[in-house]
Chains A and B, each alone.
Chain A
Amino acid sequence: MMLLSGDPPRSRVLTIVLLVIILALAATPFIFPGAKAMNVAAKICIFAALVASYDLLLGYTGTVSFAHTMFYGIGSYAIAIALYTMGPNWGAVATGIVIGLPLAALLALAIGLFSLRVAAIFFAMITLAVASAFQVLASQMSWLTGGEDGRSFQLPDLLRPGTVLIPKSLIGFEFNGRTLTFYLVFVASTLMILALLRVVNSPFGRVLQAIRENRFRAEALGFRTVFHLTYANCLAALVAASAGILNALWLRYAGPDTSLSFSIMLDILLMVVIGGMGTIYGAIIGAAIFILAQNYLQSLMGVASKAAGEAGLPLLPGLLHPDRWLLWLGLLFIASVYFFPTGVVGRLRSGRAGKTSDAAH
């Protein structure tokens, strides 16, 4: 209870689902050997933290930001550039963290002070513009960022797959540097999500919710809404940058496609809405559903597309093509905004006949 900041999942099914996801993630190195399963599990961890930080903005303050991948990218690039230029040592990792996190927070502060004074819709447009400018900047400054190719780098010795920490003969599977990196990602993501739970259940988090429900009234009660919103924006940016750091460490690479592109932003939006806005737990569910779909739905769709093609149906093979999986998740996204705006978590919490109209607006 202390750990969850007094905000338990509040639904038996949800608790079970969350436990299953978390246990499966924790046990991935033992029970699902192979690189793909580890990649999927690490990505779920990283995205759960990233989406939870976005939920702090979207679900708890009701502001739509399109610049969240920018902060994610800042974290990724900071660590990648540091390790690339300084070589694979822990000093470089520390440098990346020390430069990346404050940079993300400062940028979030600047954007927040500049544009959070006005309506949510204005903020959304300005963040979109800033994020796309940053993307261009990152691909133009190729001497620093490697341009479109990005930067590949080596990890410190301890985290390399070649480093065997516990040999296979002892515990039945090899605990190497890669496994250690995985647990680093897992533990760091868990800590970030728990910290976010702490934030949203603090008095500060309550003020954020008050601002979401009625900004004018919150202001009338004496809260400096711009301060609170900017603070939330900076916190979210810090967590996003940390998730970016984990992402780069896991991939040993940072590039526009994996850490900066607008499609990641859309992915985050899909995950937070499908999982459930304003719940934090929704981030874990959303990330798990989305990334599993991304990795395994495609092969399913390939089969369906082939079947539709053999049946001679028009257009359907194209729509069911594995590359079009985002189309179906997009439809799911619209349906979930419309029909169950509190997402999977809200649905599970409110039971079958529950009202779901208490969503943010």
Chain B
Amino acid sequence: MTELAANDPLPKPKRDLAPILLPIALALAMIPLVGSTSSWVTLTVASLAMGMMIFIMASGLTLVFGLMDVLNFGHGAFIAVGAYIGTLILLPFAAAMQADSLLANLAVLVPAILLAMAVSGALGLVVERVLILPVYGQHLKQILMTTGGLIVAEQTMYAIWGPAIIPLPLPASLRGSFILGDVAIAKYRVLAMLVGLAVFIAIQLVLNRSKIGLLIRAGVENREMVEALGYRIRRLFLGVFMTGSALAGLGGVMWALYREQVHASMSDDLTVLIFIVVIIGGLGSIGGCFIGAILVAMVANYGGFLVPKLALVSNILLMVAILMWRPRGLYAVTSR
């Protein structure tokens, strides 16, 4: 791995494989440590599912930073808002959720997710206009404004939905596990993995194969140049911000179903995880964010299995290790 780790003096469009190999190597290295194959498979699937959900929530944050140098400390609020909005549909139609038919379940789940994404996306519009636009370009004030936004959002959620934890059972057809030999794989984790992978592929396709994606990537590289060519990068940024917020809402519903509960402060721990992911991946990099999310989830799951008490601390250690190796994250995109 070391010969790939060496930094080339000039950035070339060469594939940098070392970060991709890292989670694979980590997973393989864990086989002897975990011991039994079946628990290793379960842990690996759990890591991938958790990683995908974290990736969905973190992807917007890293793009927004890469594109406009804006870091939203209130990003976690979109997660909780998404989850609460999801309950607005999921709870009244609990009967359809508990019916043992995939079609009936999806008929409730899909509108709930779409509504959650729409509302958090719309909230993203408001936040961008009200909180971020006035302090654009000033890091310190951005952090303060978005933190203030987080406080207000969290308190408003308490005021509307109350401080109690809302239980949110999984749909009947997503409960239980697929049994393969002596290995049990939870159905919902498979779904989470598929959704996360779909989001990743969709983002990659948009970024690499469409004109908008070209502009976004160009904006990440050099904002002024894109503006000089006559594109309204502010509008582009607003679009990215809203998409990121909507994805956070999607992640919120998925996380709430994964944990089977909703709470206004559910985003607090997640925000920390997301920040670690974004830092590990390299601010602005979607690929790095994807790998970072998987790594963080792996460390949390394997670490939680092997050394249960240190799950969150192990993430910090992971971050330190990665930053020692590559001080600007796995894939350094921006020159900032």
Residues of A within 8 A of B (CB): 58, 62, 64, 114, 118-122, 124-126, 128-130, 132-133, 136-137, 140, 262, 266, 269-270, 273, 315, 318-319, 321, 323-324, 326-327, 329-331, 333-334, 337-338, 341, 359-361
Contacts and interface: CB of A to CB of B under 8 A. Distances in A.
A184 to B, nearest CB: 33
Interface stretch (B28-36, B267-275, B287-295): B267-275
Given A337-B135, A337-B148, A361-B138, 6 more contacts: A125-B278, A129-B276, A132-B312, A140-B309, A324-B159, A334-B131
Contact of A129 (B139, B268, B275, B309): B275
Interface in B133-161: 134-135, 138-141, 143-145, 147-149, 151-152, 155-156, 158-160
Given A121-B143, A266-B151, A319 B159 contact: yes
9 contacts: A64-B144, A122-B283, A124-B73, A125-B279, A132-B269, A136-B312, A269-B144, A319-B156, A326-B155
How many residues of B sit at the interface, in one of the four size bands?
A: 35 or more
Contacts of A327: 151-152, 155-156, 159
Contacts of B232: none
B264 to A, nearest CB: 12
Contact of A121 (B139, B309, B310): B139
Nearest to B329: A122
Identify which of B135, B155, B319, B336 gathers the most chain A CB atoms within 10 Å of its CB: B155
A330 B135 contact: no
Nearest to B275: A125
Contact of A338 (B71, B134, B275): B134
B140 A361 contact: yes
Given A122-B279, A334-B131, A128 B272 contact: yes
Nearest to A339: B134
Nearest to B130: A334
A344 to B, nearest CB: 16
Contacts of B311: 136
B193 to A, nearest CB: 25
Nearest to A318: B159
A187 B43 CA distance: 55
Nearest to A272: B144
Nearest to B336: A119
Interface of B: 65, 71, 73, 131, 134-135, 138-141, 143-145, 147-149, 151-152, 155-156, 158-160, 163, 268-269, 271-272, 275-276, 278-279, 283, 309-313, 315-316, 319-320, 323, 327, 336
Contacts of B131: 334
Nearest to A320: B159
A90 B317 CA distance: 37
Contacts of A326: 151, 155
Contacts of B145: 334, 337-338
B139 A133 contact: no
A330 B152 contact: yes
Contact of A64 (B65, B140, B278, B315): B140
A125 B282 CA distance: 13
Contact of A330 (B71, B148, B336): B148
Q: 7 nearest interchain CB pairs?
A: A327-B155, A330-B151, A361-B138, A334-B148, A330-B152, A318-B159, A333-B148
Contacts of A330: 148, 151-152, 155
A361 B141 contact: yes
B144 A315 contact: no
A338 B142 CA distance: 10
Contacts of B336: 119
A58 B141 CA distance: 11
Contacts of B278: 125
A120 B140 contact: yes
Contact of B152 (A129, A269, A334, A361): A334
A327 B275 CA distance: 24
Contacts of A126: 279, 319
Contact of B143 (A64, A136, A333): A64
Contacts of A331: 148, 152
Contacts of B312: 132-133, 136
Nearest to A124: B143
Nearest to B152: A330
Contacts of B141: 337, 341, 359, 361
Nearest to A262: B268
B151 A323 contact: no
Contacts of B272: 128-129, 132
B140 A62 contact: yes
B274 to A, nearest CB: 10
Contact of B147 (A62, A121, A266, A329): A266
Contacts of A136: 311-313
Contacts of A334: 131, 145, 148-149, 152
Nearest to B276: A129
B5 to A, nearest CB: 20
Contact of A133 (B156, B279, B315): B315
A68 to B, nearest CB: 13
A29 to B, nearest CB: 34
B111 to A, nearest CB: 25
A137 to B, nearest CB: 6
Contacts of A361: 138-141
